[in-house]
Structure 1
C-alpha cells in the first residue's frame, strides 16, 4: 500500500502553535472573487470516495480482503487489520464474515465489499439523502494488481451516480506511480475518458473535471519533476478538462511538506485543493490553519484566476478527534467565512484512517468485542451512525448560503432526539419448519422511543445476506 497521505504528513509536518478561539474571529471575511461560476465543484461539496474494499468471495478480480486487512489473503482480525474503526453494517444486504469475534450485540462481525453494486448504491443513496453534490473516485496506478478491480469500480460508481442524481469525477492519486507521466495519459484516453459521456460526470465551466493528487509533495513516493508535472497538467487541459490539484497544505507558504520550486505547477491548475489530514486534530488547530493557510490561499487563488477547494475532515475516531462534530463544524465555519469556492471532504469511506463520514458503529454493541475499536460515542455523547453525513449536509448548506454562517453547530448528534439504542432481541426459537422453510420467533427488543423493525440475516460459511425484514417478532425464511 505504500506510505499513506496521513503518515507522510504526520512525519513531514511539525505542528504549529494554535491560536485561541475568540469572539473577534466571528467576523466575516471580505467576499472572494470566484474565478469560475457555480458548477459541479465550484459552490459545491465533494467527497473523496475510495471504493477500495473487497472480500474473498465477492467476485472482484483482486480476490482478497482488499484494504480490510494487512494480509489480503486472510480475513481481517485483530492481528490482521487495515482499519481503525468499524462500519455500521445494518443497511447492507450482503456481508462477509471476518475472523473477528462477534459484535457486542452477539451478531457476527461482517464487512461489506465495495465491489457489490448494492454497496455503491447504498453509499450514493446516503450522498443523495444528505445533499452531497459530488464524489471524487480515487484512482491509483491502474497497471498493477488492483487495475481490473478499479476499472470495475469506475463502472459501478457511474451507475450509482446516474441513478441517484450525484455527480462524480476521476481523481488520480499518483503516489508510487513511477511511470505516471505517460501511463496517466494512456489510462485517460483508453479507459476513463469514456465516463465523461455520462450525464453524472462532473463538469465545471462546461469541461469534464479531473483531479491529480500528489504533485509537489516532498517525499520519495512523489518523485515527479516540475517539467513532468506541467506536462501532465497541460496535457489534460489540452484534452478539454478542468484540472484540480491535490497539493500539500504548504503549497503557497513553503515548508517541510512541499518541494521548493513548484509554484508554477500549483498555479497551472484550475483549482487547488490542499490536503489537511494528519495536520490538524482539534478546533484550535483548525483556527490556526485558517489564519496560516486558508485566508492567504484564497487570496492567492483569486489573484491567479484559480478556484479554491480546501479540505474538511471529520477527525480520526481512534484518535478521539471528533468531539461529537465540533471539530468538523469549526472547519466548515472557517472555510465558509473565508469565502472559499468549494469544499472537499476527506473522506467518505476511509475506514482505514478513521476519517470516514459514512455510517459508523454507534456504540460497542456494534463493534467486534475483541477489536479494541472505538465507536462514535467514544467521548460519552451518543451520535447516530449517520451523524457525519448530516453534518456534511448542513456544512454544504452553509457554503451555499442556504443557512446563515454560524460558529455554533446546528446539527444534533441524533436526528429527532432519540439517543438510546434499543436492546437486543432475545430467545430466538424455531416454531416450525419444512424441507425448504423455517419459521422463527423471538422476544421483542426494547427501546425508549420504539422499535420499527428487525432484519433477519442468513449466514452461510463466511458470508451473510439479508433474508428479509419484519415489523413483528416472527418471520419465515424460505428457499432453504
Structure 2
C-alpha cells in the first residue's frame, strides 16, 4: 500500500498516514525506529524472500468455532497441569474483542491474563501488520491434513488471504502430513488442492507466492519412517503434471535426508523442486552452548543443484516444550541466547547465497519457536519461557534484519547488527 502525494487529501490518504504514524510510534516505544514496508512484496518468486511458518491453530471457547482451548491446553479447561504451550503471547496491543480471559491465570500485578484465537480477523491482520512493519515478506500458512474437516482452518486461510492483500505480503499453503493415515494422504491432499484451485481460485490471487511461473506448494513431513516412498512419488507426479493443478513443490524433509538408503526415497528427494530440511534438534555443543548444526548445508545445496533443484534453509530462534511434553523434556531445550542462536543460522544461510530462508515459526509458542511478540510478564501460576527481558518485538526485528542480510542489503556480520535499546 502506498500513498500518492499527487492526490487530493482523501480518507485513504488519511488512513495511510495513520498507519505510518502508528509504525513510527511503535518503533519509538521499543527504543528504536522501525521502517514500515509499504511496497507490495513481489509474489512471482521465492528468491529474495524470508517466509515464516504460520500455524494459525489456536482456538478459544466462545470464538465461534465450537472449540475449547485448542493448542493452549490438553483439556477443555486450562490449568497449570494442562498447558501445552511454552510462551505467553504479548496481547498489549489487542482490542478487547480479540482477548479471551483465562480463568485462574493472572499477571504479577494481579491483572487478568488473556489468550487469543487464530480465527479472529483482527488478530491475523495484526500479525500481518507486524510483518509489514518489520519487513517480513509473508508466510506459509499451515494446512494440517488431520484438521481439514474443521472449517475454522478454512476461515484462517481466508483471513490470511485478506490480510496479505491488505498489507502487501505474500502467502502460500504448507500441507502438514503429520499424524494422517498414510493410505489416505494422496487422496485427501490432492482433493483439497483441487478445491482451493477450482472453487477458491487461490492460485489466481496476486498475493499467492509463485516460483518458476507456478504456484508454490510446501509439503511438510516427507519422512521415510512415516510412509513408503510411493506416496511421495504420487504427490510429486500430481503436482508436476501439466494442467491447472501444477505447482512448484517445496519438500519438508528430515535433516538426515542425504543418509537415506531406500533408493525410491532418494529418487523422490531428487524430484523435489525445492528441498527444505527440517533442522530442528540438529545441534552441536560448543563451549557449553548449543548451536545449530549447519555444517552440512553447503553439501546439501550442492546436492540439490546437481539434481536440478533449489535449497531452502530453515532457521529458528530456539526450542522448548516442557509444558507440552513434561519436565523430562528439559534437556531438549535450546537457549535462544538473546538472539545469537537465531542469528548464527541466518549468517550461515546468507553465506549459501540461496536468496531465500524459511523462518520456523511465526506463532509457534507450543515449542517456543515463535518470533512474534511474547510477553516478559507471563502469568505466575505456571512456568513460561520469555524473551529474557528483551523487547517483545526483538525477534520480529531480528527477522527483518535477517531478510536484509539474506538479500545482501546489509553487510555480512557475525554479530547481531542491531541493539535492543
Task: Give TM class, smaller chain.
Answer: 0.7 to 0.9
Counterpart of 1:459 in structure 2 is: none
The whole-number CA distance in structure 2 between the counterparts of 1:144 and 1:402 is 40
Which of the numbers 397, 409, 431 marks the counterpart of 2:416? 409
Question: Partners of 1:314 and 1:367 in 2: how far apart?
Answer: 19
- CA RMSD between the two structures: 2.2
For structure 2, the residue ranges without an aligned partner over 5 or more in a row are 1-41, 322-332
Cα distance per residue 1:389-431 (max 9 Å; x no partner): 100110110100000111111122x2xx2xxxxxxxxxxxxxx
Give the distance between the partners of 1:143 and 1:77, measured in 2 at CA.
25
**May I ask how many residue pairs the two structures share in their alignment?**
359
Instruction: Measure, in 2, the Cα distance between the counterparts of 1:242 and 1:114.
Output: 28
* Counterpart position of 2:171: 168
Partner of 1:79: 81
Say which of 116, 136, 139 aligns to 1:135: 139
1:10-43 deviation per Cα after TM superposition (whole angstroms, max 9, x unaligned) = xxxxxxxxxxxxxxxxxxxxxxxxxxx9944222
Secondary structure of the structure 2 residue equivalent to 1:353: coil
3-state secondary structure, aligned to 1:343? strand
Task: Establish whether residue 213 from structure 1 lines up as the match of residue 217 from structure 2.
Answer: no
Matches within 5 A, 1:246-395: 246-254=252-260, 261-280=264-283, 289-291=293-295, 293-316=296-319, 319=333, 321-362=335-376, 366-377=377-388, 382-395=389-402
Find the counterpart in structure 2 of residue 120 from structure 1: 124
Residue 43 and residue 129 in structure 1: after superposition, are their counterparts in 2 closer, same or farther (change >3 A)? same
CA distance in 1, matches of 2:138, 2:46: 7
Retained in 2: the 8 A contact 1:40–1:134?
no
- The correspondence of residues 40-59 of structure 1 with structure 2, limited to 5 A, is 40-59=45-64
In the aligned structure 2, how far is the partner of 1:282 from the partner of 1:328?
15
Q: 1:200 corresponds to which residue?
A: 207
Question: How far apart are 1:374 and its partner, in Å?
Answer: 2.6
For residues 232 and 176 of structure 1, do their structure 2 counterparts lie closer, same or farther at Cα, with a shift above 3 Å needed? same
Q: How does the TM-score come out when normalised to structure 2?
A: 0.80
Q: Secondary structure at the match of 2:293?
A: helix
Query: Could you tell me which of 243, 248, 259 is aligned with 1:242?
Result: 248
1:212 CA drift (Å): 0.6
Shift in Å at residue 139 of structure 1? 0.6
1:152 matches 2:155: yes
Greater share of residues in helix: 2
Question: Alpha-carbon deviation of 1:261?
Answer: 4.4
Asked whether the equivalents of residues 284 and 291 of structure 2 are also in contact (C-alpha less than 8 Å), the reply is no
Partner Cα separation in structure 1 for residue 370 and residue 211 of structure 2 = 26
Alpha-carbon contact 1:283-1:330 (below 8 Å) kept: no
Instruction: Please give the alpha-carbon distance, in whole angstroms, between the structure 2 residues aligned to 1:227 and 1:134.
Output: 32
Q: Which runs of 5+ in 1 are unaligned?
A: 1-36, 418-480
CA deviation after TM superposition for structure 1 residue 339, in Å: 2.2
| TM-score between both structures, scaled by the size of structure 1 | 0.71
